[in-house]
Chain A
């Protein structure tokens, strides 16, 4: 092993310590609920807590809604922009950059003033309305990632030829999108979906300020009031994120294998 490989291993080792140590510490801490022994009691309490189940369910449902709405918005748009409205592409790309530029807290500030009870779209006035607003906020947050994933997927397939082939066989636009394009960018959409899921599950700012019972505010609540359960929650949150990323990798590798056969 030559000198530069040695140096590389040293860097990786230091990084590994910095990144893995907190996880170990958290896990160790989460096992200490019962005095004097290691147990999974904290996990049992957390997973059995009605509020945990309710808020996790709430966030999951909203995550799925976000993914569906996000995909429904992004896929046709990216498709038509690539096929016919190429000049509008920079505009769309700029729009998808905005959520990265405008911090979430600023956005929700804007929502609260724009969609309060005295506006043209009084979304904050009712609970369902606030749920809708939260979902739309999540779609906005996930937009850059969803758009980039779908756009990359569309670039990899020959959109024009597929469309023309389908048209010549008599298909209309909806059919083309649903039965020709979508199946071919399935991997890209799934990647965007898993990333969206990870973002929504852990999101705090929007949910807290819109006062909705999501997972993020629940985490904050537990963190402020309890000692050992937050550690268990942190590990659970990390595992959920890891699962999402892992699924992206698995889906991506299977999609790539399919394309080469």
Chain B
């Protein structure tokens, strides 16, 4: 075969190979279009329309009516509370498991359990907490009978803001452990030793080296936890039902046809949610890119 012939064969092979590749990835992108992009686009467009299809910003104005605004506010608060607390406790657990000088089996046990618990949500979780801290719960009864402490008389209620937050922590903390463990493992032992050889104690090391290095990952993970809590439905529905009116419950009710009788407002609520979770995720990605750069 001459050079020209073999070159053109190679070209033909590569272009037919490319064609096959495009055909191979097409189903994926078609699927994504049908079941991710189009529904989202519909919502985004619909949020800017009124009942007749004309362009309007009225829906966004209505987002600020007291009931809807209150729902957003509570959602934000529960998500923020469970995110921040989840981040703090998750970091403590992750650091203890990775660097605390603990046996290796414990580290993989923590990792496995975190994988399980981060998926344990919805009715089972709600019920587990009801069985523990509900009015007839095991711990409630134990505290009352053994220590004479009635937490419900003292004002605690599982079916409340803090009760929901406490329940959310059950999957938030493991999620944090899963996300932050690579970053904690990335804290190289030599940094600690170098700092020590230069005279630094534990506090100085954390203050000057470990925290600054971990900071982007920590904030990023907190944002991810926030987005995760914000989108949760089943647990809240099972635990507090409609007594604690968070956005997801609101949207859930609206979809069921109950409340708002205004489809476009529903779109706006959904869009508001997407905006908030999108911002959180963008923040997470940006911060993770920054963190990766340092630990290159």
Contacts and interface: CB of A to CB of B under 8 A. Distances in A.
Contacts of B255: 105, 108-109, 112, 209
B96 A8 contact: yes
Interface in A19-47: 19, 21-26, 28-29
Contacts of A72: 27
- Which of A5, A205, A220 has the most CB atoms of chain B within a 10 A radius of its CB? A205
B38 interface: yes
A14 to B, nearest CB: 9
A248 B114 CA distance: 13
A140 interface: yes
A198 interface: yes
Interface string B77-96: 00000000000010011011
Given A4-B101, A85-B21, A113-B42, A234 B127 contact: yes
Nearest to A5: B101
A202 B238 CA distance: 13
A105 B131 CA distance: 27
A2 B39 CA distance: 57
Contact of A245 (B97, B116, B256): B116
Chain B binding surface, main DSSP class: helix
B252 A219 contact: no
Interface in B87-120: 89, 92-93, 95-97, 99-102, 106, 108, 110, 112-113, 115-117, 119-120
B270 A209 contact: no
A139 B28 CA distance: 11
B277 interface: yes
A130 B22 CA distance: 30
A173 B20 contact: yes
Given A219-B123, A234-B123, A26 B89 contact: no
Instruction: Determine the interface band of chain A, counting residues with CB < 8 A from chain B.
Output: 35 or more
Residue of B28, B29, B40 most packed against chain A (CB within 10 A):
B28
A120 to B, nearest CB: 10
B50 interface: no
A23 B137 CA distance: 12
A219 B99 CA distance: 40
Interface string A78-108: 0111011100100010010111111111111
Interface in B19-57: 20-22, 24-25, 27-29, 31-32, 34-40, 42-43, 46
A105 B31 CA distance: 19
B138 interface: yes
Given A7-B96, A12-B102, A245-B112, A103 B273 contact: yes
A21 B123 CA distance: 17
Interface of A is mostly: helix
Given A77-B24, A109-B255, A99 B36 contact: yes
Contacts of A4: 100-101, 202
Interface stretch (A52-60, A151-159, A182-190, A235-243): A235-243
B117 A19 contact: yes
Nearest to A227: B136
B281 A110 contact: no
A105 B124 contact: no
Q: Which 3 interchain pairs have the tightest Cβ spacing?
A: A8-B100, A110-B39, A103-B231
29 contacts: A4-B202, A12-B93, A19-B170, A26-B131, A73-B27, A76-B25, A76-B28, A81-B25, A95-B29, A97-B281, A99-B36, A101-B278, A102-B274, A103-B233, A106-B40, A106-B274, A109-B251, A114-B39, A199-B119, A209-B252, A209-B255, A209-B256, A216-B122, A220-B122, A220-B237, A231-B128, A237-B120, A241-B116, A248-B115
Interface of A: 2, 4-5, 7-9, 11-12, 15, 18-19, 21-26, 28-29, 72-74, 76-77, 79-81, 83-85, 88, 92, 95, 97-114, 121, 136-137, 139-140, 143, 173, 195, 198-199, 202, 204-205, 209, 216, 219-220, 222-223, 230-231, 233-234, 237-238, 241-242, 245-246, 248-249
